[in-house]
Amino acid sequence: MRFYTGQHQHYCGVDLHARSMYLCILDQQGQVVLHRNLRTEADAFLQAVAPYRDDLAVAVECLFTWYWLADLCQRENLHFVLGHALYMKAIHGGKTKNDRLDAYKIAALLRGGNLPLAYAYPAEMRATRDLLRRRTHLVRQRAELLAHIQNTCSQYNLPSPGVLTYKDRRRKIPDGFPDPVARRSVELDLQLIETYDALLTPLELELVHQAQEHDPDAFHLLRSIPGIGKILALTMLYEIHDLSRFPRVQDFCSYARLIAGTHESAGKPTGTGNRKIGNVHLKWAFSEAAVLFLAKYPKARRYKDRLATHHGKAKAMAILAHKLGRIVYYILQRRRPFDPKRCFADA
């Protein structure tokens, strides 16, 4: 957990909602100089902070509505700080909670150097990252349709349709259902799958083109790792964005949920930390990459088998995903492609 410790003349806490926002501005002595409820309009915000904008820091909790405010602060040369929602216990743990109190607490945490930081993703690549996340959501919906076809075949005790990757194999599936209503249900699934296929293929090409414009070197470096194709490389590229925000490889692996936090008291361990702290998209990407890495790089299987002997198969795969996380960190840091002699010399 990192905190914002910058010193300013005024500190603005914003309790931001979709249609309204509550502003609280504190001076260096902690005195409230502004408490006001506004509509979420750029002009209204700028007019409210105009008397205090010289050396003003603006802080907001990391919710889905922060994009426009961050871009506005960047255009107006105002310091913008994004607070980590899961760490801001001073707000969520209070006995009384309302917009006025929340805005004051955000400003007070900012002034005291106790505001936990989240990464404010820059606008240049933010839309592409969100589009990539949307693509992942659509792919999972398509997978649910394929699973529904498999389950429907099992309900009527029909032979398994097998792998439904190819369109020609899917076309004959409805003919095996004697019930016309069940046949119509499967046909509906197949029509939706074809719609998703028609949308996803050009979308993936567009995303690859965007990656070639944003950081082509990093994209090709990631693809040099066996098992990491264009989708996993895109996910890692856009979720990491700037590797310099991770001073150590341990910080990067923690952010990617590849290692668990530990809790201890009086020198004794008391448990593990919150496993949901971090980037869920990177966690998925490295978990998938570990499975594909074993298939594309047979020498790593001996490494995994040796780990499985001592830790079990599940823990061995988690360790392999952690190792891939370290490999990705150093590949992007040193700007060198994957070298099996350095990464898996003992395998």
| pLDDT 10s digits, 121-148 | 999 999 999 999 999 999 999 999 999 9
DSSP assignment string, 215-238: -HHHHHHHHTSTT--HHHHHHHHH
What angle in degrees, to the nearest 10, is found between the helix axes of 280-296 and 299-311? 120
Query: What is the pLDDT at residue 138?
Result: 96
The tokens of 54 are what? 């010289």
Residue finishing a domain among 182, 214, 246: 214
Q: Do both 134 and 153 map to the same domain?
A: yes
Mean pLDDT confidence for 213-217: 92
Q: Is the pLDDT of residue 299 over 70?
A: yes
Q: Do both 185 and 285 map to the same domain?
A: no
Please tell me the pTM assigned to this model. Answer: 0.88
Query: What is the pLDDT at residue 176?
Result: 87
In a domain, 221, yes or no: no
Residue finishing a domain among 214, 249, 279: 214
Q: Is the pLDDT of residue 167 over 90?
A: no
Using pLDDT thresholds of 50, 70 and 90, give the confidence band for residue 346: low
- Residues 104 and 125 sit within 8 Å (Cβ to Cβ): no
In angstroms, rounded to a whole number, what is the distance separating the alpha carbons of residues 291 and 245?
28
**pLDDT digit string (tens) for 8-33?**
999 999 999 999 999 999 999 999 99
Residue finishing a domain among 97, 116, 135: 116
Q: Do both 179 and 101 map to the same domain?
A: no
Q: Do both 157 and 241 map to the same domain?
A: no
In angstroms, rounded to a whole number, what is the distance separating the alpha carbons of residues 258 and 260?
7
Mean pLDDT confidence for 74-83: 96
Number of domains in the chain: 3
Q: Which residue type sits at 23?
A: L
Domain of 110, CATH number, reads 3.30.420.40
Which residue is it, tokens 């990093």? 218
Query: What is the pLDDT at residue 125?
Result: 93
Using pLDDT thresholds of 50, 70 and 90, give the confidence band for residue 298: confident
The tokens of 268 are what? 């004794």
- Residues 76 and 29 sit within 8 Å (Cβ to Cβ): no
In angstroms, rounded to a whole number, what is the distance separating the alpha carbons of residues 32 and 14?
13
Q: Do both 250 and 337 map to the same domain?
A: yes
Share of the chain above pLDDT 90, in %: 76
Query: What is the pLDDT at residue 232?
Result: 96
Q: Do both 240 and 195 map to the same domain?
A: no
Mean pLDDT estimate for the chain: 91
Q: Do both 111 and 130 map to the same domain?
A: no
Q: Is the pLDDT of residue 90 over 80?
A: no
Q: Report the run of H or E that residue 321 belongs to, with start and end.
A: helix 313-334
In angstroms, rounded to a whole number, what is the distance separating the alpha carbons of residues 139 and 231?
11
Kind of pairing between the strands at 10-16 and 20-27: antiparallel
Would you tell me how many other CB atoms lie within 10 Å of the CB of residue 153?
18
Mean pLDDT confidence for 327-333: 95
Query: What is the pLDDT at residue 114?
Result: 92
Q: Which residue type sits at 117?
A: L
Kind of pairing between the strands at 20-27 and 32-39: antiparallel
In a domain, 222, yes or no: no
In a domain, 265, yes or no: yes
Q: Is the pLDDT of residue 344 over 90?
A: no
Q: Do both 310 and 235 map to the same domain?
A: yes
In a domain, 209, yes or no: yes
Q: Is the pLDDT of residue 237 over 90?
A: yes
Q: Is the pLDDT of residue 242 over 60?
A: yes
Greater model confidence, 163 or 347: 163
Q: Do both 149 and 76 map to the same domain?
A: no
Q: Do both 244 and 332 map to the same domain?
A: yes
Residues written for the chain: 347
In a domain, 164, yes or no: yes
Query: Which of 70, 57, 80 lies closest to 10, judged by CA?
Result: 57
Q: Which residue type sits at 71?
A: D
In a domain, 161, yes or no: yes
Q: Which residues contact 158 (CB under 8 A, 6 or more apart)?
A: 176, 177
Q: Which domain holds residue 74?
A: 3-116
In a domain, 225, yes or no: no
